[in-house]
């Protein structure tokens, strides 16, 4: 089926959302038992770990780790936000830089100033949005970022979104207390879909839509290591305790350019696979053989795809053995764990 579809349903009793683009699963969100990223806590400072450049905090969901020591003493209360999922046996990753994010607006209490997404380039549109921002944030010392989705939105909707996020930010930031507490929970899959999948799409909400729209079939394919690429090439994605290993195979292509074609096909498909499978951390690519002169082109292609992906990923570079390394934020839990 051509076009974009946002499908809101439940899977194994968990709230979930799927984004289908031209009949292909492009993104998938599912709730988990772990605290949701975006959750904001009032936390109590515990023991600083100077060797690790951070401090442990007490939260209602267990210990958290903040990569900051300066100005924090044991016993201090501070507001922090959950940035992702914790690895097994490790503390929750948090930041002191709070973001209140919605479909059109992001309010930044610790970063004053009015900003508009760089993806909005038309001067007239930027001027109109700046007027809305100034009107709604007048007398407010918090910062504001207007997202690229504002281009297709009505002025009233943008203004309402700004007011809602600013009110929530004020409520959370000004709430005092001397015990660890959850101040606001992160968004669930259905709200995330509304917030982040802002491009025009058909929205499907009927129960059982995952089955009728091919989502379950696509999820089943993600349970295997093998991924078929164009030209007969293949990827094998295998998580281990230490890292995610990705092997690129040229398949039956025996041409001189087989390795180059397979590696570029990997660069195009890998971000989608990592996103759907919920994989992060250290990722090592064992690429197919290709001339060293083509490495720069491969990196450029991979960088462009990862930028569009939206999950923070650092391109660490080449190893002496010719593998390529990535370091990816653990923004989601592994799909294999959530579906069990």
Inside any domain, residue 263:
yes
pLDDT score recorded for residue 61: 96
For residues 25 and 219, the answer to whether their CB atoms sit within 8 Å is: yes
Residue 126 and residue 91 share a domain:
no
Give 10-residue mean pLDDT values along the chain (340 residues): 93 96 96 95 91 91 91 93 90 96 97 95 96 95 96 96 97 92 97 95 96 96 94 94 95 86 96 96 96 95 93 95 95 89
Residue 327 and residue 235 share a domain:
yes
CA distance 58 to 46: 7
pLDDT score recorded for residue 230: 86
From 117, 145, 176, the end of a domain falls on 176
pLDDT score recorded for residue 47: 84
The gap from C-alpha 142 to its chain's centroid, in whole angstroms, comes to 24
pLDDT score recorded for residue 70: 84
CA distance 89 to 142: 36
pLDDT score recorded for residue 50: 77
pLDDT score recorded for residue 2: 84
CATH code where residue 291 lies: 3.40.630
Nearest to 192 by CA among 34, 22, 30, 336: 30
What total of structural domains would you count in the chain? 4
Inside any domain, residue 54:
yes
Residue 304 and residue 264 share a domain:
yes
- Which residue segment(s) compose the domain that 297 sits in? 225-338
pLDDT score recorded for residue 274: 97
- Encode pLDDT of 227-264 as tens digits: 999 888 999 999 998 999 999 999 888 788 999 999 99
Q: Give the predicted TM-score (pTM) of the model.
A: 0.91
Residue 232 and residue 202 share a domain:
no
pLDDT score recorded for residue 256: 80
Look up residue 317 and give its DSSP letter.
E
pLDDT score recorded for residue 151: 94
Where are the extended beta strands (E) located within 67-112? 77-82, 92-95, 100-101, 105-108
Residue 167 and residue 74 share a domain:
no
Residue 308 and residue 207 share a domain:
no
Residue 251 and residue 304 share a domain:
yes
Residue 330 and residue 266 share a domain:
yes
pLDDT score recorded for residue 253: 80
Inside any domain, residue 181:
no
- Encode pLDDT of 115-168 as tens digits: 999 999 999 999 999 999 999 999 999 999 999 999 989 999 999 999 999 999
């Amino acid at each position: 089926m051509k076009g974009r579809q946002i499908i809101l349903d439940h899977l194994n009793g968990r709230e979930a959302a799927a984004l289908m683009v031209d009949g292909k699963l492009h993104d998938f969100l599912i709730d988990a038992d772990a605290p949701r990223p975006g959750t904001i806590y009032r936390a109590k400072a515990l023991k600083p770990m100077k060797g690790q450049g951070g401090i442990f905090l007490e939260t209602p969901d267990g210990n958290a780790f903040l990569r900051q020591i300066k100005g924090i003493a044991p016993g201090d209360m501070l507001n922090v936000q959950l940035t992702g999922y914790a690895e097994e046996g490790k503390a929750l990753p948090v930041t002191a830089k709070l973001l209140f994010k919605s479909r059109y607006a992001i309010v930044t209490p610790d970063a004053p100033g009015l900003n508009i997404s760089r993806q909005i380039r038309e001067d007239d549109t930027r001027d109109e949005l700046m007027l809305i921002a100034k009107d709604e944030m007048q007398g407010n010392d918090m910062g504001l970022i207007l997202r690229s989705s504002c281009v297709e939105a009505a002025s009233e909707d943008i203004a309402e979104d700004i007011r809602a996020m600013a009110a929530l930010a004020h409520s959370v930031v000004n709430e005092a207390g001397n015990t660890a507490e959850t101040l606001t929970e992160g968004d669930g899959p259905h709200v995330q879909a509304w917030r982040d999948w802002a491009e025009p799409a058909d929205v499907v909400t009927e129960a059982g839509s995952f089955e009728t729209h091919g989502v379950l079939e696509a999820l089943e394919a993600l349970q295997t290591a093998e991924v078929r690429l164009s030209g007969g090439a293949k990827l094998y994605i295998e998580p281990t305790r230490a890292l995610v290993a990705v092997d690129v195979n040229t398949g039956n292509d025996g041409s001189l350019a087989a390795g180059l074609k397979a590696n570029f096909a990997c660069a195009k498909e890998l971000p989608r696979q990592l996103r759907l499978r919920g994989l992060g951390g250290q990722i090592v690519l064992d690429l197919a053989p290709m001339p060293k002169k083509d490495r720069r082109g491969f990196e450029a292609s991979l960088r462009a795809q990862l930028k569009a992906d939206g999950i923070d990923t650092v391109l660490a570079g080449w190893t002496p053995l010719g593998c390529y390394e990535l370091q990816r934020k653990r923004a989601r839990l592994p799909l294999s764990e959530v579906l069990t």
